[in-house]
Amino acid sequence: MSESAAPFVTLVEVSPRDGLQNEPRILAAAVKVGLVDRLSAAGFRAIEVTSFVSPKAVPQMADAAEVMAAIHRVPGVRYSVLTPNLRGFEAAVAARADAICVFGSASETFSQRNINCSIAESLERFRPVVAAARARGIAVRGTVSCALGCPYEGEIAPAVVARVAGELLAMGCDELSIADTIGIGTPDATRRVMEAVLAVTDVARLNGHFHDTYGRALANIDACLDLGLRSFDASAAGLGGCPFAPGATGNVATELVLERLAARGFTTGIDLAAVREAGRWIRERLAD
Ligand code: HMG
Ligand code: MG
């Protein structure tokens, strides 16, 4: 697909969830709400707000219901949450989430550390969650973590990523997010993985999620754009990390992605100045 045929790129703003989940200091729910509201006002059409996970696993997300109840919902914005199991899904429904995310992995060890089960077990756990979401008309994203490498296992074969992606798709996920959890990917490796996944799905369903540990996230996004991907996750001020992925630094900064997309002639409907302001604001709250 040529760039001129599809000049719009969807940016999913993940700073309230992936950006904050690894911050050691627990922020007040009101601060998280303030961040989400600033992002809604900046023009994002999709915001990943929080996670309905075990508060022992991720203490920062323990206030998920409180945050979801207090955000100002702008019509047309998709407010999504992470749901590892049916319990999380039920909480997401009660919180009126527009979309959920089941998060799997292409690495057995990361799967165990992150959600305490094997890849096969995780897929069995996701199946009823995805079915329940579809029955309620709630959009479902399936994430494949460690798609470009694992902090415990090292290299991950693109064929494994494609297999997990294919299973998530087959159980009914609307969208697949292919994640470089530790920011280890290069443009060539990114291309290989995305090409493998494109063998099992349409490019319109693919999202790229890049952490920027080695400063290569923008180059990896460029490689994805060249393949026709038009949806990426990004995090204001480059906040981010995963408690179960040692060494991984922040997500790719939304501000940088917006600059790159504009330079390449893509539109997003997002106000860069407002994102910069939101990023500054949340950085100040984290430093308070
Ligand atoms: P488990 O220990 O196997 O599950 O954990 P369990 O059913 O035995 O429950 C353990 C405890 O969690 C129990 O509490 C449950 O009640 C509670 P206790 O009796 O010990 O007091 N619990 C829950 N509480 C709230 N909401 C729930 C829930 N489920 C159980 N939904 C489990 C399995 C999945 C629950 C756990 O491992 C967990 O919550 N993991 C969360 C992991 C996580 O959030 N990781 C970060 C997000 S993934 C990521 O960042 C990657 C991504 O950005 C993409 C990328 O970059 O790769 C998406
Ligand atoms: Mg992540």
pLDDT for position 244: 87
Which protein residue has the closest C-alpha to ligand 1 atom 30? 54
Average pLDDT for 102-110: 98
Residue nearest to atom 8 of ligand 1 (CA): 116
Structure tokens at 7: 């000049």
C-alpha span between 282 and 111 (Å, rounded): 30
User: What residue's CA is closest to ligand 1, atom 49?
Assistant: 242
- pLDDT over threshold 80, residue 97: yes
Q: Identify the weakest region by mean pLDDT among 140-154, 197-211, 245-259.
A: 245-259
Is residue 119 one of the residues assigned to a domain? yes
- At 248, is the pLDDT very low, low, confident or very high (cuts 50, 70, 90)? confident
Mean pLDDT of 181-210: 98
pLDDT at residue number 242: 82
| DSSP, res 46 | E
C-alpha of 34 from chain center: 20
How many other CB atoms sit within 10 Å of the CB of residue 281?
A: 16
What average pLDDT score do residues 248-270 get? 96
Q: Is the pLDDT of residue 27 over 70?
A: yes
How does DSSP classify residue 170? H
* Tokens found for residue 210: 């890049």
Residue 31 to residue 10: CA distance in whole angstroms:
25
Ligand 2 midpoint to CA 32 (Å): 18
pLDDT digit string, tens, across residues 49-79: 999 999 999 999 999 999 999 999 999 999 9
Residue 186's domain is classified under what CATH number?
Answer: 3.20.20.70
Spacing, Cα 242 to ligand 2 middle (Å) = 6
128 or 3, which is more confident? 128
Q: What is the pLDDT of residue 196?
A: 98
The neighbouring-strand residues paired with 102 are 142
**Residue 256 CB neighbour total at 10 angstroms:** 15
State in Å: Cα 101 to ligand 1 middle: 13
Mind spelling out the 3-state secondary structure of 14-34?
A: CHHHHHCCCCCCCCCHHHHHH
pTM of the model: 0.97
pLDDT of residue 2: 47
Which among 9, 19, 83 has a CA at the least distance from the CA of 46?
Answer: 9
Choose which residue among 53, 66, 145 to substitute to test ligand 1 binding: the one with the highest number of ligand atoms within 8 A of its C-beta.
53
User: What is the whole-number distance in angstroms between the Cα of residue 7 and the centre of ligand 1?
Assistant: 38
Over residues 207-213, the mean pLDDT reads: 97
- Asked whether residue 20 carries a pLDDT value surpassing 90, the answer given is yes
Catalytic site positions? 242
Task: With respect to residue 1, please indicate whether it lies within any of the assigned structural domains.
Answer: no
Contact 141, 101 (CB under 8 A): yes
How many angstroms is it from 177 CA to the middle of ligand 2?
10
Which of 190-204, 240-254, 266-280 is the least confident region? 240-254
Q: What percent of the chain is modeled with pLDDT above 90? A: 94
Q: What's the mean per-residue pLDDT of the chain?
A: 96
Q: Which residues line ligand 1 (CB under 6 A)?
A: 18, 21, 51-54, 56-58, 82, 84-85, 87-88, 103, 114-116, 143, 145, 179, 181, 209, 242, 244
At residue 1, the pLDDT reads 45
Angle at 104 between CA 143 and CA 62, to 5 degrees: 90
pLDDT value, residue 245: 84
pLDDT confidence of residue 48: 98
pLDDT at 34 over 70: yes
Atom of ligand 1 nearest to the CA of 117: 3
pLDDT at 199 over 50: yes
Instruction: Kindly report the protein residue whose alpha carbon is nearest to atom 3 of ligand 1.
Output: 116
Residue 191: domain span: 6-287
Phi-psi region of 241 (alpha: psi -120 to 50; beta: other; left: phi over 0): left
Domain count, the chain: 1
